[in-house]
């Protein structure tokens, strides 16, 4: 049998395969590195674009927040102005009523009675005064009750005070409610 040594041929083939494998491996590594680099560049650009969008949105949100704050301040100012206008209108509307109330207080005051203090809170009028007798205080309360502009007189206190040997007075405190008379049908139509 003849002896043929095929070893160098196999070794050479192995070396060629090994070189092809290394070249292919190097090519794959270069392509993979290029793909990773391109992917990284693409993702970085996408992130930068999104950051720019987010920054733009944040700036627009800040502008809108400032506008919303300005609108809420304007609404508050508007509400304050409306309240002021309502108070002024109420005062203008009630202006003749106060005159009527004072007129009624004077008209209901009998002889021998005088007021020392008047105080009005909302629709309640507190009166402090003096009278020559209890009958005059009773007469005052009847007159207040009969008035169209005043109602529900309530006597809180009556004291007898002696100012000298001859003078004697009754000091009283009472409250009365301010009302408005009902309008007659022909006045309501005006």
Q: 84-88, 96-100, 151-155 — which is least confidently predicted?
A: 96-100
Residues 52, 83, single domain; the answer is yes
CB atoms within 10 A of CB 98: 12
Confidence of residue 189 (pLDDT cuts 50, 70, 90): low
pLDDT the model gives residue 168: 66
Q: 45-49, 144-148, 164-168 — which is least confidently predicted?
A: 164-168
Asked, for residue 147, whether it belongs to a domain, the answer is yes
pLDDT average, residue stretch 122-151: 85
- Exposure string of 17-42, with b = 16+ CB inside 10 Å and e = fewer, is eeeeeeeeeeeeeeeeeeeeeeeeee
Locate all alpha helices (DSSP H) within 109-156, ordered by sequence: 134-146
pLDDT the model gives residue 186: 56
Assigned token pair, 174? 């009472």
Which of the listed residues 98, 129, 157 is the one where a domain comes to its end?
98
Confidence of residue 187 (pLDDT cuts 50, 70, 90): low
State the Cα–Cα distance between residues 63 and 59, nearest whole angstrom.
Answer: 6
- Domain of residue 148, residue span: 109-188
Residues 20, 59, single domain; the answer is yes
pTM for the full predicted model: 0.49
């Amino acid at each position: 049998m003849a002896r043929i040594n095929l070893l160098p041929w196999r070794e050479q083939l192995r070396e060629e395969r090994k070189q092809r494998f290394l070249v292919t491996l190097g090519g794959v590594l270069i392509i993979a590195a290029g793909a990773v680099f391109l992917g990284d560049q693409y993702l970085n650009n996408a992130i930068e674009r999104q950051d720019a969008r987010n920054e733009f949105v944040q700036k627009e949100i800040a502008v809108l927040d400032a506008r919303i704050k300005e609108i809420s301040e304007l609404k508050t100012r508007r509400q304050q102005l409306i309240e002021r206008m309502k108070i002024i209108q109420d005062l203008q509307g009630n202006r003749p009523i106060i005159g009527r109330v004072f007129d009624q207080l004077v008209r209901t005051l009998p002889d021998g009675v005088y007021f020392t203090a008047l105080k009005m809170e909302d629709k309640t009028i507190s009166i402090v005064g003096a009278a020559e007798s209890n009958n005059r205080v009773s007469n005052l309360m009847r007159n207040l009750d009969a008035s169209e502009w005043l109602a529900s007189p309530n006597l809180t206190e009556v004291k007898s005070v002696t100012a000298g040997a001859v003078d004697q007075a009754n000091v009283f405190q009472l409250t009365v409610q301010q009302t408005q008379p009902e309008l007659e049908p022909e006045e309501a139509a005006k």
